[in-house]
């Protein structure tokens, strides 16, 4: 990886971590476990469309590990890794189908895949298939969060492409 690319990736990782830490400090208005906006995912969605797969995986892995350390909840790393594996796999597949102009749609699907991965991790860890009944709540909130973060990522891509032209 070239120095310029590594610098961009490091900056994106730092921004994603900063958004993660800021979001940790904001009280959750719905107070439902697992439901949050996922501000750091704005950066992930942007990166999926603007960077190579390996670079995005490196950025997300770094974000997950450092985010778990920063939050002090090391058990959350299992849920985050599983959710992100599903999310990235889905978004990388959809990247070839959904054009960058509809990045927000890819973000919604990414949120859905992320929720499925997290529930699967919870079922495996707790050996409780009944947790699947929680999935509809997560999917509804995930679609809303995915739409919000996807629209933010869409705006970023549009602004950056306009700046690149000038």
The pLDDT mean for the chain works out to: 92
Structure tokens at 19: 């958004």
What whole-number percentage of the chain has pLDDT above 90? 79
pLDDT at position 160: 86
Number of H helices, E strands in the chain: 6, 0
Question: What's the DSSP call for residue 98?
Answer: S
Mean per-residue pLDDT, 39-54? 95
Q: 156: closest CA among 105, 100, 74, 76?
A: 100
At the top level of CATH, the class of 3-26+35-165 is mainly alpha
Task: Work out the average pLDDT over 128-154.
Answer: 95
Would the pTM of this model clear 0.85, i.e. be above it?
yes
Residues 54-86 have pLDDT tens digits of 999 999 999 999 999 988 888 889 999 999 999
**Contact status, residue 149 vs residue 38, Cβ threshold 8 Å:** yes
Q: How far apart are CA 149 and CA 143, in angstroms?
A: 10
Do 122 and 86 touch, CB atoms closer than 8 A?
A: no
């Amino acid at each position: 990886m070239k120095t310029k690319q590594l610098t961009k990736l490091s900056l994106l990782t730092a921004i994603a971590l900063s958004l993660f830490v800021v979001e940790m400090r904001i009280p959750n208005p719905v107070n439902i476990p697992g439901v949050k906006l996922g501000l750091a995912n704005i950066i992930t969605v942007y990166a999926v469309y603007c960077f190579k797969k390996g670079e995005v995986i490196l950025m997300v892995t770094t974000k997950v590990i450092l985010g778990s350390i920063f939050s002090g909840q090391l058990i959350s790393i299992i849920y985050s890794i599983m959710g992100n594996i599903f999310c990235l796999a889905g978004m990388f597949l959809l990247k070839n189908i959904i054009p960058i102009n509809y990045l927000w749609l890819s973000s919604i699907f990414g949120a859905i895949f992320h929720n499925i991965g997290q529930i699967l991790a919870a079922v495996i860890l707790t050996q409780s298939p009944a947790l699947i009944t929680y999935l509809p709540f997560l999917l509804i909130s995930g679609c809303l969060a995915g739409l919000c973060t996807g629209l933010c990522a869409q705006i970023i891509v549009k602004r950056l492409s306009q700046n690149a032209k000038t």
